[in-house]
Structure 1
Amino acid sequence: MLTSCLPEAIARAFPEHPFSTRSPMSATLSFTAPTAHGPRDITLAYARVGAGEPLLLLHGIGHHRQAWDPVVDILATERDVIAVDLPGFGQSSALPPGLPHDLPTTNAVLGAFCAALGLDRPHVAGNSLGGLLALGLGHENLVRSVTALSPAGFWTRAERRYAFGVLMGMRRTARSLPLPLVERLSRTAVGRTALTSTIYARPGRRSPEAVAAETLALAHAPGFSETLRAGRSVLFTDDVPGVPVTVAWGDRDRLLLPRQGIRAKHAIPRARLVRLPGCGHVPMNDDPALVARVLLDGSRAQSARALRTSFSTVAL
């Protein structure tokens, strides 16, 4: 499978910056997940680093676990950090035939993944699709706390159509670019902006090899189309009782507009709503220190530590 060869492809393109040294080493875990369609054997790729209470990190659609690299080292000083490639993304295989890439199935897989790793109700943080999945795990009371960064599922129909149209356009572009062109574009600030400005407010902060890797990950994700199709009818309207929830939104998010955070607060009244100044849809790159603080504070919510950041300045 080509997705499993992405690190080698990037290493060849950037021999001066070996891809394998840019993030924690990847491992794979095979386990059986009890799904609504019966038990199925699943294999997911993940990376684990640090010590402390477990914190599971879930990336967005078309991305991979390396989206979290800018904050992993900070988080690992206080948490046992597990960043996983969702089914059909990064180095994880798509779900077996007959299993839909929908929210109930994916969350059942993630629950089984945690059990196989011996994680007892970890903290969970997610971005975009990962934020929606994290909220679902919180609703099922499978986790200790939830921090959702620009989570999907709080859109209007028009906003969903816009976001899906942008995502499909990004996918088409990524699939049309040969690796040598991706390499050339990612080596320049203008090229990195062209490839990633939809998701990053500060694309120049992202390294050339990281931009190339995530462009290829988007192009070759076998779970992209099925996951996007399953999301057409998704609205998150459930409360998340009994679990501390933080919802954070970049005020320069161009994919899921910041006003969707207000709807998230209405759906989850006890959630803390946090503004991320100067951050885009994938904020970990734009301000790693701020995002890491939000994630650590969110996973300290059980001790009633208050966040000092206000969302009140976001325009509706």
Structure 2
Amino acid sequence: MGDWWQQQFPSGRQTLTIVDASDRPVTIAYGEVGTGKPLMLLHGIGSWSYNWRANIQPLSQHFRVICVDAKGYGFSSAAPLPETVGHQVLELGRMIQALSDRPVCVAAESMGALTTLALAQSQPDLLDRLVLINVPIFPKQLPSWGMQLLSYLPLEWVQWVDQGQLLCPFAPLVQEIMRWVRQEVVVDPNSISDDELYWLTYPYLYRTGALTQFAADLQLAAQEIDRTLQQQPTLLGAIQQHLHTIKHSTLILWSDRDRWFPPTDGERLQSRLPEARLELIPNCGHVASSGNPKVVNAAIIEHCLET
């Protein structure tokens, strides 16, 4: 399949080392292309920079595009268990500080967008304009059966499979399961290509730590959702309660056919953000970056270049 990073970025895949939320060094994979205002692209939970494959080159005509893999995802290294609630927020801040000497615009999808909201509250000076896509800001449960199943499994089991790379011999089966899961986030199942399935499953088959990181983050997310719904103190609840403090110019993009989080969540989010506007992405499922990249790219360019 070639080197995806080399195909997208002049210097291919680059790395930097940060200290994570538990003070452990981790290696972060990233790529960059273009010049000008820095624009960081953030993927959602369970995904990696590949999700932005239809956006990187068009956006690089206008920005210095920086595409990062979150800790434990894609080609970034994972850290040993246990994991910390909200670790993504602190780690995102450290990535920005390492990669840019000025505030960055951020275009973020799903869990990446929720992380961006939290960072806008805790370290607002690191951020410029925001584009938030299909944000899980008011969830009632983990959105897919696959996520729910993985969140119930003992982490010791997941880690055993992960460290032994026991899924490798079953790569075709894993890719077909991914095809089935992927149908929840696209409008047209026929649009799911074999290349897409290969790259989306690659980290879980061939990079130790990715599956464990995903499962650990899902368990923490499920606990946060349950406790928030029970009106117990949580990070998710705190993010919801302090949305009004975010002063960044924000564009909320929401897919009109998102089966995971309804557009009404976008309307509710807009009503709580002082400097936000909402646009619907037509004929699009939850994964909008590749589901309707033409509309997404145009919206990002317009918003982030606006004076």
Bin of the TM-score, shorter chain as denominator length: 0.7 to 0.9
- Structure 2 runs not aligned, ≥5 long: 154-166, 225-235
Match of 1:7 in 2: none
Match of 1:280 in 2: 285
Q: How does 1:68-147 map to 2 (within 5 A)?
A: 68-97=52-81, 99-100=83-84, 102-103=85-86, 105-139=87-121, 140-141=123-124, 142-147=126-131
For residues 271 and 252 of structure 1, what CA distance do their matches in structure 2 show? 21
Aligned residues of 1:154 and 1:261 also touching (Cα < 8 A): no
DSSP-derived class of the 1:151 partner: coil
Count of aligned positions: 270
Residue-by-residue CA offset, 1:44-78 (whole Å, 9 max, x unaligned): 11111111111111101111111001111110000
For residues 246 and 70 of structure 1, what CA distance do their matches in structure 2 show? 20
Match of 2:229 in 1: none
Aligned residues of 1:125 and 1:146 also touching (Cα < 8 A): yes
For residues 192 and 92 of structure 2, what CA distance do their matches in structure 1 show? 28
DSSP-derived class of the 1:88 partner: coil
For residues 3 and 76 of structure 2, what CA distance do their matches in structure 1 show? 21
Q: How does 1:213-232 map to 2 (within 5 A)?
A: 213-217=199-203, 220-232=210-222
Match of 1:149 in 2: 133
Match of 2:194 in 1: 208
Q: State yes or no: 1:26 paired with 2:18.
A: no
Q: State yes or no: 1:292 paired with 2:274.
A: no
Deviation of 1:30 (Å): 1.2
State which drifts further: 244-253 or 132-141. 132-141
Q: TM-score, normalised by structure 1?
A: 0.76
Deviation of 1:107 (Å): 1.6
Match of 1:61 in 2: 45
**Residues 300 and 89 of structure 1: is their aligned pair in 2 closer, same or farther, counting only changes over 3 Å?**
same
Residue-by-residue CA offset, 1:173-200 (whole Å, 9 max, x unaligned): xx699213456x5xxxxx9853411122
For residues 52 and 19 of structure 1, what CA distance do their matches in structure 2 show? 24
Amino acid at match of 2:253: A
**Residues 211 and 270 of structure 1: is their aligned pair in 2 closer, same or farther, counting only changes over 3 Å?**
same
**Residues 228 and 193 of structure 1: is their aligned pair in 2 closer, same or farther, counting only changes over 3 Å?**
closer
Aligned residues of 2:255 and 2:284 also touching (Cα < 8 A): yes
For residues 214 and 286 of structure 2, what CA distance do their matches in structure 1 show? 18
Q: How does 1:127-206 map to 2 (within 5 A)?
A: 127-139=109-121, 140-141=123-124, 142-155=126-139, 159-161=140-142, 163=143, 165-169=145-149, 178-182=170-174, 185=176, 194-206=180-192
DSSP-derived class of the 1:62 partner: coil
Residue-by-residue CA offset, 1:219-277 (whole Å, 9 max, x unaligned): 64331122122223224312253211111110111112222112211221431111001
Amino acid at match of 2:194: P
Match of 1:242 in 2: 247
DSSP-derived class of the 2:128 partner: coil
Deviation of 1:114 (Å): 1.6
**Residues 165 and 205 of structure 1: is their aligned pair in 2 closer, same or farther, counting only changes over 3 Å?**
closer
Deviation of 1:297 (Å): 2.2
DSSP-derived class of the 2:108 partner: strand
Aligned residues of 2:72 and 2:79 also touching (Cα < 8 A): yes
Aligned residues of 1:200 and 1:286 also touching (Cα < 8 A): yes
For residues 25 and 257 of structure 2, what CA distance do their matches in structure 1 show? 40
Residue-by-residue CA offset, 1:125-145 (whole Å, 9 max, x unaligned): 111100101112222312001
Amino acid at match of 1:210: E
Amino acid at match of 2:92: L
For residues 221 and 95 of structure 1, what CA distance do their matches in structure 2 show? 12
Amino acid at match of 2:221: G
For residues 109 and 288 of structure 1, what CA distance do their matches in structure 2 show? 27
State which drifts further: 124-133 or 21-30. 21-30
Aligned residues of 1:192 and 1:208 also touching (Cα < 8 A): no
Match of 2:35 in 1: 51
Question: Which 4+ stretches in 1 moved above 4 angstroms?
Answer: 17-22, 96-99, 169-172
Aligned residues of 2:150 and 2:215 also touching (Cα < 8 A): no
Match of 2:230 in 1: none
Identical counterparts, % of pairs: 26
Match of 1:313 in 2: none
For residues 82 and 173 of structure 2, what CA distance do their matches in structure 1 show? 36
Q: CA RMSD in A?
A: 2.7
State which drifts further: 220-229 or 106-115. 220-229
